[in-house]
Structure 1
Amino acid sequence: SVNREELFNLRHAVARNVIEQIFSIVKSRWEVLNCPANFDMSIQARIPPALAALHNFILQFDPTDIEDFLNDPNILNEELDMEYYSNDIMEILQQIHLLEKKRRRWKECEMKSLKVCGSSISSG
Structure 2
Amino acid sequence: MNEAVAADLQRCIEHIEANDSIKGAVLISGKPNTFIAGADIGMLSRCKNSTDARQISAEAQREFLRIESSEKPIVAAIMGTCMGGGLELALACHYRIAMNSPKTQFAFPEVIFYCKVSFLI
What TM-score range do you get, normalising by the shorter chain? under 0.3
Larger radius of gyration: 1
Using structure 1 for the length normalisation, give the TM-score: 0.27
Higher strand share: 2
Using structure 2 for the length normalisation, give the TM-score: 0.28
